[in-house]
Amino acid sequence: MNELLSLLLSLLKNQLPQYSEIYPSFDAVPVSSKSSKLFTVISPHSFRSGQAFPDGSVRITPFIADFRISLLAPLTTPNEKLLSFFYTFLVPALLSANCFLSEMQSDAPKTDLQLQKLVYSATFRIKGLYFPDTEQEVST
């Protein structure tokens, strides 16, 4: 799951170099220290793996991972601006990199009074196959 989170963070930062305010949900940076404008937070939501199957000397494991991607903005940001940024920049960045994005479910924009932010979130489902790095495997 950490590898997938790192991959998504890197993907978005590379696809949106002019917009580098992208954070994992488990960083130690308080929201108050993050941008006073727009920023994105990526959170692992769930992970499921299937029955591994052999391919030569390795076992390949199918997986499904859900990530929550939230765009946070000042409370005064119009909903249209938040939605426009989300669908004009974030979603195309994920799709253009040929990641295994298979589904997306979004919520309505919400006000988070504790954070003093307007939040727009979507859950992205990624399906794929895990190929273990054979050089790092420990033989038993």
Predicted confidence (pLDDT) per residue in 26-71, tens digit: 887 777 777 778 888 999 999 998 998 888 888 888 988 899 999 9
Instruction: Determine, yes or no, domain membership for 86.
Output: yes
Residue 43: which domain range? 2-130
Per-residue confidence (pLDDT) for residue 89, from 0 to 100: 86
Please choose, from the candidates 135, 132, 69, the residue with its C-alpha nearest in 3D space to the C-alpha of residue 99.
Answer: 69
Per-residue confidence (pLDDT) for residue 134, from 0 to 100: 55
Per-residue confidence (pLDDT) for residue 11, from 0 to 100: 83
- CATH number of the domain that 97 lies in? 3.30.2000
pLDDT tens track for 107-128: 889 999 988 899 999 998 888 8
pLDDT interval class at 140 (50, 70, 90): very low
Please give the Cα distance from 35 to 31 (Å, whole number): 8
pLDDT above 50: residue 138: no
Per-residue confidence (pLDDT) for residue 43, from 0 to 100: 92
Instruction: Determine, yes or no, domain membership for 104.
Output: yes
Cβ partners under 8 Å of residue 9, min gap 6:
22, 24, 42
Instruction: Determine, yes or no, domain membership for 92.
Output: yes
Instruction: Determine, yes or no, domain membership for 140.
Output: no
Q: What is the pTM of this model?
A: 0.78
pLDDT tens track for 86-98: 888 888 888 776 6
Instruction: Determine, yes or no, domain membership for 108.
Output: yes
pLDDT interval class at 139 (50, 70, 90): very low
Instruction: Determine, yes or no, domain membership for 61.
Output: yes
Instruction: Determine, yes or no, domain membership for 137.
Output: no
| Angle formed at CA 35 by CA 32 and CA 40, multiple of 5 degrees | 105
The number of domains in the chain is 1
Per-residue confidence (pLDDT) for residue 98, from 0 to 100: 61
Instruction: Determine, yes or no, domain membership for 138.
Output: no
